[in-house]
């Protein structure tokens, strides 16, 4: 039977960062909200702060004074849970501890009506486990908000094994009525966002571990791909202790699956108290943050007798347009070869190729072109002038080709950043692994492809969702990058998702 929670009295338990935000959103949506916290005065404090926040919105012209006053008046701090016995929805946002959450919810069951809905804002504990021991485990679902609650649109509506579909649907509809974008998720480690986002951090940490690039270069490359923050500056912002704890919890909850293994680089930073912004020092020193990258100086101009643009598709087209523009000054233009099976430029005897996952050294050995470089996947097309782009040069290449590879990428409009000749470079590797993780999540029924896209765009501000990237790339290309990583590193980390592999073989 459908459950309608719109307008229902709400009890929020835990008046910390998240609980206060949830109370604000519920009150602004017209609910009567009771707020309870075990810490003396915490609920009253939260109410005072909320009133100030609402007044601030009025001062900025974002809210009319009457609405602010009314919302504020709807929030009532209570000294006991019994005072909120008529609540039809309880949202708990207390300490992240299974036993404490279980005990609270068991206590609440004895207070609220049998048909009241219980929601947990847990970010990492199994909803199935929290429900275990309740008289009516089917009435508990996860209602996972993101910080800051009033601003972040995403709500993961998490179903445990026993959650009634009508309860999940009621929380989904209510979240929408509160102006949020809800996404259904199955209770699995990290739910959607905290799981699919792992490779964003993990691949950067892996590249740092093998000294392939500096934090500045990695950040510049991923910003160039459209991410609002690079992985290193983002980990500094989140706090390495928090980020490391989430990685550890996903790793442990997956029975130490090497896919999610935490990084020694980050463990050492946490151990040393280099926690990021909050401690004044992480990958960067604060308040300054990341120093600007030195501007690349290309001593030699890009020169050639003959240029052929290879490959089909939008990246090859963009390369052709850029090469045409660049060579026009010299009064000639590039040729085009569409069926060669690789994308990039043949510059006389040298090759400047879009990464297919393999290293430049490996491709050089296979093709016999010693002067070979691979460049990273441009995600934004046409790439704005000066977009940072990583490249790697084959071990046996000449000194002259090393500087020519950079000069040609600059002539094509990029800001070339040299990195070690690693499989999948920076962006291709990171995005392929994000897509791979999202594909596994969909195959395992954690969420739909649309749900994953919405969650990643709204929960962590990704410029596109993993399945949107997949649609612009192609499944065989993504599988090849993950396979190249697997071939290079072995072990379980770079397993191709069966969901992707099936599509790589089947009709597309
Ligand atoms: P917080 O520490 O700011 O607030 C927790 C509040 O709960 C405190 O005021 C504490 O006194 C109170 N509390 C503890 N045990 C209680 C009990 N048994 N009964 C009543 N009140 C109790 O923590 P925060 O950050 O608001 O997190 C709360 C929950 O939300 C956790 O489960 C956390 O994992 C989850 N969460 C946190 C996010 C964040 O970015 N901080 C994001 C999404 C979820």
pLDDT in tens, 169-223: 999 999 999 999 999 999 999 999 999 999 999 999 999 999 999 999 999 999 9
pLDDT at 81: 98
pLDDT bracket for residue 293 (50, 70, 90)? confident
Q: Residues enclosing ligand 1, CB less than 6 A?
A: 13-19, 37-39, 42, 93-96, 100, 104, 121-123, 145-147
pLDDT in tens, 24-77: 999 999 999 999 999 999 999 999 999 999 999 999 999 999 999 999 999 999
Contact present, 117 and 167 (Cβ < 8 Å)? yes
From CA 129, how far away is CA 496, in angstroms rounded? 30
Instruction: Report domain 194-291+426-508's class.
Output: mainly alpha
Residue 296's CB: how many other CB atoms inside 10 A? Answer: 15
Q: Reply yes or no on whether the pLDDT at 299 is more than 80.
A: no
Q: Reply yes or no on whether the pLDDT at 149 is more than 60.
A: yes
Q: Reply yes or no on whether the pLDDT at 295 is more than 80.
A: no
- Please give the CATH number for the structural domain made up of 10-187: 3.40.50.720
CA–centroid distance, 93 to ligand 1, in Å, is: 5
Question: By three-state DSSP, how is residue 160 classified?
Answer: coil
pLDDT in tens, 210-238: 999 999 999 999 999 999 999 999 999 99
Contact present, 186 and 159 (Cβ < 8 Å)? yes
Catalytic positions: 123, 144, 156, 194
> Helix 215-224 crosses helix 427-443 at what angle (to 10 degrees)?
70
From CA 262, how far away is CA 244, in angstroms rounded? 7
- Return the structure tokens found at 163: 């959650």
Q: Which residues pair with 117 in a beta bridge?
A: 89
Which of 11, 12, 13, 17 has most ligand 1 atoms within 8 Å of its beta carbon, as the pocket-test mutant? 17
pLDDT at 103: 98
- Return the structure tokens found at 295: 């501007």
Q: Whose CA is nearest to atom 8 of ligand 1?
A: 16
Block residue for tokens 């993504």: 478
Q: Whose CA is nearest to atom 11 of ligand 1?
A: 39
Mean pLDDT of the chain: 96
For the CA of 95, the closest atom of ligand 1 is 14
For the CA of 14, the closest atom of ligand 1 is 7
pLDDT in tens, 96-112: 999 999 999 999 999 99
CA–centroid distance, 90 to ligand 1, in Å, is: 14
pLDDT in tens, 345-378: 999 999 999 999 999 999 999 999 999 999 999 9
CA–centroid distance, 380 to ligand 1, in Å, is: 39
CA–centroid distance, 104 to ligand 1, in Å, is: 13
Q: Reply yes or no on whether the pLDDT at 393 is more than 70.
A: yes
pLDDT in tens, 10-39: 999 999 999 999 999 999 999 999 999 999
For the CA of 96, the closest atom of ligand 1 is 32
Q: Whose CA is nearest to atom 2 of ligand 1?
A: 16
- Return the structure tokens found at 209: 């571990």
Domain ranges of the chain: 10-187, 194-291+426-508, 307-418
Q: In percent, how much of the chain has pLDDT > 90?
A: 95
Of 486, 496, 356, 429, the residue nearest 208 (C-alpha): 429
- Return the structure tokens found at 12: 């929020």
Instruction: Report domain 307-418's class.
Output: alpha beta
Q: Whose CA is nearest to atom 30 of ligand 1?
A: 93
From CA 192, how far away is CA 224, in angstroms rounded? 25
* DSSP one-letter string for 79-105: SSGGGGTT-SEEEE---S-HHHHHHHH
pLDDT bracket for residue 507 (50, 70, 90)? low
CA–centroid distance, 389 to ligand 1, in Å, is: 41
Q: Reply yes or no on whether the pLDDT at 296 is more than 90.
A: no
Q: Which residues pair with 390 in a beta bridge?
A: 417
pLDDT in tens, 80-136: 999 999 999 999 999 999 999 999 999 999 999 999 999 999 999 999 999 999 999
Q: What is the DSSP letter of 110?
A: T
For the CA of 101, the closest atom of ligand 1 is 18
Query: How many C-alpha atoms does 213 have within 13 Å on its Cβ side?
Result: 31
């Amino acid at each position: 039977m459908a459950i309608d929670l719109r307008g229902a009295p709400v009890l929020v338990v835990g008046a910390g960062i998240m609980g206060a935000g949830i109370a604000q959103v519920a009150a602004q949506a017209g609910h009567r909200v009771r707020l309870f916290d075990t810490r003396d005065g915490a609920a009253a404090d939260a109410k005072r702060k909320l009133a100030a926040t609402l007044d601030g919105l009025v001062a900025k012209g974002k809210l009319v004074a009457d609405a602010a006053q009314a919302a504020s008046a709807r929030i009532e701090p209570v000294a006991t849970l019994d005072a909120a016995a008529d609540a039809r929805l309880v949202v708990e946002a207390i300490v992240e501890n299974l036993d404490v959450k279980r005990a609270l919810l068991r206590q609440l069951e004895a207070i609220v009506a049998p048909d009241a809905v219980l929601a947990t804002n847990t970010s990492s504990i199994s909803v199935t486990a929290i429900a275990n021991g309740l008289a009516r485990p089917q009435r508990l679902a996860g209602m996972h908000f993101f910080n800051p609650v009033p601003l972040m649109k995403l709500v993961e509506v998490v179903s445990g094994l026993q959650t009634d579909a009508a309860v999940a649907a009621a929380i989904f509809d209510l979240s929408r009525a509160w102006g949020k974008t809800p996404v259904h998720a199955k209770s699995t480690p990290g739910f959607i966002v905290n799981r699919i986002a792992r490779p964003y951090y993990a691949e950067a940490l892996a590249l740092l571990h093998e000294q392939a690039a500096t934090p500045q270069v990695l950040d510049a490359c991923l910003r160039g791909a459209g991410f609002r923050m690079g992985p290193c500056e983002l980990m500094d912002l989140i706090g390495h202790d928090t980020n490391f704890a989430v990685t550890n919890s996903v790793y442990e909850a997956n029975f130490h699956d090497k896919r999610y293994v935490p990084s020694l680089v980050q463990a050492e930073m946490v151990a040393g108290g280099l926690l990021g912004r909050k401690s004044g020092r992480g990958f960067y020193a604060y308040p300054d943050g990341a120093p600007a990258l030195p501007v690349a100086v290309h001593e030699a101009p890009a020169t050639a007798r003959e240029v052929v643009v290879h490959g089909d598709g939008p990246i090859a087209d963009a390369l052709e347009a850029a090469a045409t523009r660049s060579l026009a000054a010299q009064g000639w233009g590039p040729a085009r070869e569409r069926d060669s099976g690789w994308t990039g430029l043949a510059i006389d005897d040298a090759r400047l190729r879009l990464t297919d996952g393999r290293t430049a050294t490996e491709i050089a050995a296979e093709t016999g072109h010693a002067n070979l470089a691979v460049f990273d996947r441009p995600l934004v097309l046409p790439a704005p002038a000066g977009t940072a782009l990583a490249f790697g040069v084959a071990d046996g290449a000449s000194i002259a080709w090393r500087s020519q590879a950079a000069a040609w990428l600059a002539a094509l409009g990029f800001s070339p950043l040299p990195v070690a000749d690693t499989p999948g470079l920076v962006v291709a590797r990171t995005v392929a692994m994000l897509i791979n993780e999202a594909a596994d999540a969909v195959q395992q029924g954690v969420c739909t492809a649309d749900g994953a896209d919405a969650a990643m765009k709204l929960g962590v501000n990704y410029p596109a969702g993993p399945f949107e990237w997949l649609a612009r790339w192609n499944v065989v290309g993504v599988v090849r990058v993950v396979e190249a990583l697997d071939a290079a590193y072995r072990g379980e980390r770079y397993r191709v998702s069966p969901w992707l592999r099936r599509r790589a073989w089947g009709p597309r």
